[in-house]
Structure 1
Amino acid sequence: MIRKWIPFLICAVLGAAPIQALAQTNHNKPLFAVFDAVLKNSPSLRSGVAAVDVAKAGTVQAGLRPNPSASFEVENFSGDGPFSGVNSAEMTLGFTQEIEIAGKRRLRREVSGYNVSIAHQNAVASALSLLAEAYQTYAAYIIAEERLALAEKRRTLADKMHDAVKKRVKAAVASDIQHTQADIEQQTAGIQKARAERDLRNAVLRLERLTATDMTQFAAGREFLKALPTLPTEDMFLSSIADLPQIHLLKFKELQAQRMSELAKSNAVPNPTIGLGVRRLNDADRSAFLASISFPLPVFDRNQGKRQEAHALREQAEFDKRAGELLWTETAKNVYTGLEVAVQNVLSYRDKIIPSAQKAYDQATQGYEAGRFSFLQMLTAQRTLYEAQDDYLSNLLSLHESKAQADFLMGVHRDIVEKTVSLHEGESQ
């Protein structure tokens, strides 16, 4: 994620605004409505929050002391001779308590406390990735609407062209081959329209799954697609990786492994057990107190295996942290490069390719009507224009997918996610 965590993320930004901007504007209000629905309704988010509550319960358990033990013992009764009956019986009531030493309880609580931090970072990362996926899915939905509008326009124009060519053929002004070419264009436009309708239905279904809400709840928001982000410097972008929840998670795992190593050493120290009781001597009609202290002798089991395991886990956590930092740095560089390329591609299509294709189509249409260009030349210019417009939409979608990934890496919506996760913590109790 961006292998897994990045199917993914966040907000549209105005052209003059930095990529980190959070302000809700007329451009991105519909997108924020989608985010709000995801944060309120997503079962995946609630699952992550429940995991935090599970870890907190584990911390409570880890901080509990061992329970005391009570015993009642009767000796020298119902035997032979003087031990018949209960006149010579000895009855003992005692209590024992294991005393944890060497910081075991403190270390247990610290190890368990890191489970809470890890679960919290997992919940935040999951929520951020959900918002990223919501951003990309919403962008795909708007692009699907644009593609359908383009396909409908193409189909309408193809129908008009087909009727016009048909009349020209009947008037013996155009050849049958032009009619065949117009037929092909009309059928192709119909296929493209059907495909665009299917893609729009699929986009709606994906968005409804993510938000657990009917699409009628969301207003149209195609304006935000046209607003291009202002890129930060690459150094600023890469420096934000240190605050990723996945990086924090790896740091917590490393710290937890260190505490687990200390706990394994602490568990090698035997805990004493202190006892206190009272004994009733029936034959002497007297009572007496008794006290005891005991502890295991670390002859065979000195927790050697657990100490070795903890040491290996500590090394593993250190290497995992380093590997994670390298992975996310590589990912960030790829995302930054992809975002730069995506912006340039969109600008090229918007400012150069589409205007040129439109000009060529207008010239070919006018030339065909004036008899200077062939029908095939006009048809080729028309197809080139639609292909350029469709490619523009594809590049626009790629731009917003890259923007979502960049926002994920920069933690654009970390604050609202943190508040949402904290707000829901404890609801499962």
Structure 2
Amino acid sequence: MPKFLVPLCSAALLSLMPMTSRAAPDAPSTSAHPAPPPANPSAIPSAIPSENPLAQTLTLSAAIERALTSHPRLRAATFEVEAADGAVQQAALPPNPSLGLEQEDTRRETRTLTVLLSQPLEIGGQRAARTALAQRGRDISQAELDALRAELRADVVQAFFVALVAQERVTAAQESLRIAGGGAEATARRVSAGKLSPIDETRARVAEATSRIELRQAQADRLAARHALAAAVGIDEALIGTLDGDANSLPALPAEAAVAQRLADAPSLRRARLEVERAQAAYELERTRRIPDVTVTLGAKRAQEIGRNQAVIGVSMPIPLFDRNQGAQREALKRRQAAEQLAEAEAMRVRAEVLSAAGELRARADEVDTLQHSVLPGAREAYTAATRGFELGKFGFLEVLDAQRTWLQARMQWLDALARAHRANADLERRLGAPAQQP
């Protein structure tokens, strides 16, 4: 045989060896019988060891505090408020005077030199109206900062619990792989003893491979959830160590009266009301501009022919014959009316979304409670009974496999319900603008 064919033949022989003679590199050690499920699904550990020595244990309160003090989006919104302060300062300043120099004739003996100082006077209340408009803009910037703070808080809460649930999915997938591996080994021994059909061993190996795939997917989801948490907090993911929290700690269901009270001060509604106030301030400013400014001029005139200085005093004002700012007034009025309608529409939209989120939170909380106290215990008992019956020869492997699948699916459904409940709570708090949890 040619030498270059020896490695190929060896690889082919290894690939044809029975799966029972090769242990999976990432599968845990197995026992003679399918492993029983854990007694309490909520007791699954939610922390993972960190390999980075700089990483620290992260709690929900610490994550919220870090996001509210150093997140780039929050710092950018703070700069916007400071910029609005500058706009208010600028709006309150009066117009600058102007200095003019005029000369009549170029001959020294007959030339006349005039120096004029002109000062515009805003007599229609324009500066006060302009300042009020800038102040309304500043109030909107502050409202946007408050809304962003509430949004960041809700994002951190949601990302934190999503990461916790993702970690529990990994733990559940590891338990699933351990159970599937134990069942596969027990089935292989019974097949070798002639008590079961080789088809049962194939089914057991398929279940084990499926559990391994689910574990790898759960690990990928956990990594993605930690990246999302790092982005929500505004730090590097490598600095996040173990997560100190309980994914099963659902928030208290909000009372309808409390929701209605907080709804009146929701960030989006507050901003909509401030938009109406700014539109009204813009309308008032345009109304003041219908009165023209007066310009007062003071100066001195030096006539060489008479050899003395003469005082120059003047007053000028545009005549509002054609332009009385009527078009701008109408525009500002219609924009105010449009802002009022948008505020009304925003109130209806936010109310519908808040009620929907509150209903979703109640439904998800009921689902979690039902799964945890009714479905999971029943599925666990059914799996335990099927396993014992299989050991005593009363049940076939299909019954055990079906009970195992039901139990594992119930656990995943419970975790999905937890994730949806925390997401619904974050959505509700994001719209209401109040902190989901006090840090």
Structures share a fold, TM > 0.5?
A: yes
Q: Which ranges in structure 2 are unaligned for 5 or more consecutive residues?
A: 1-56
Q: Alpha-carbon deviations, 1:178-213, whole Å to 9, x = none?
A: 101101101100110010011011111111222232
Matched, 1:397 2:426: no
- Tell me if structure 1 keeps the 8 A contact 2:267–2:431: no
Q: Name the counterpart of 1:38.
A: 67
Matched, 1:345 2:345: no
- Tell me if structure 1 keeps the 8 A contact 2:59–2:245: no
Q: 1:233 to 1:218 in 2, by over 3 A?
A: same
Task: Note the 1:15-414 alignment, pairs <5 A.
Answer: 30-78=59-107, 86-215=108-237, 217-218=239-240, 220-221=242-243, 223-413=245-435
Q: Alpha-carbon deviations, 1:147-184, whole Å to 9, x = none?
A: 00110111111111111111111110110111011011
The 3-state SS of whatever aligns with 2:395 is: coil
- Tell me if structure 2 keeps the 8 A contact 1:364–1:381: yes
Q: Alpha-carbon deviations, 1:63-121, whole Å to 9, x = none?
A: 1111111111111332xxxxxxx122211111111100111000000000011110111
The 3-state SS of whatever aligns with 1:65 is: coil
TM-score by structure 2 length?
0.84
Q: 1:414 to 1:34 in 2, by over 3 A?
A: closer
| Paired AA for residue 62 in structure 2 | A
CA–CA separation in structure 2 for the residues paired with 1:74 and 1:228: 84
Shift of residue 41, structure 1, vs aligned partner: 2.7
CA–CA separation in structure 2 for the residues paired with 1:216 and 1:304: 61
The 3-state SS of whatever aligns with 1:72 is: strand
| Paired AA for residue 402 in structure 2 | T
The 3-state SS of whatever aligns with 2:247 is: helix
CA–CA separation in structure 2 for the residues paired with 1:218 and 1:164: 40
Aligned sequence identity (%): 28
The 3-state SS of whatever aligns with 1:269 is: coil
CA–CA separation in structure 2 for the residues paired with 1:195 and 1:231: 32
The 3-state SS of whatever aligns with 1:224 is: coil
- Tell me if structure 2 keeps the 8 A contact 1:134–1:210: yes
Q: 1:39 to 1:266 in 2, by over 3 A?
A: same
- Tell me if structure 1 keeps the 8 A contact 2:151–2:433: no
- Tell me if structure 2 keeps the 8 A contact 1:240–1:409: no
Q: Which ranges in structure 1 are unaligned for 5 or more consecutive residues?
A: 1-27, 79-85, 418-429
Aligned residues: 383
CA–CA separation in structure 2 for the residues paired with 1:75 and 1:362: 112
What is the Cα-based RMSD across aligned positions, in Å? 1.9
| Paired AA for residue 264 in structure 1 | E
| Paired AA for residue 399 in structure 1 | A
Shift of residue 412, structure 1, vs aligned partner: 3.1
Shift of residue 232, structure 1, vs aligned partner: 3.1
TM-score by structure 1 length?
0.86
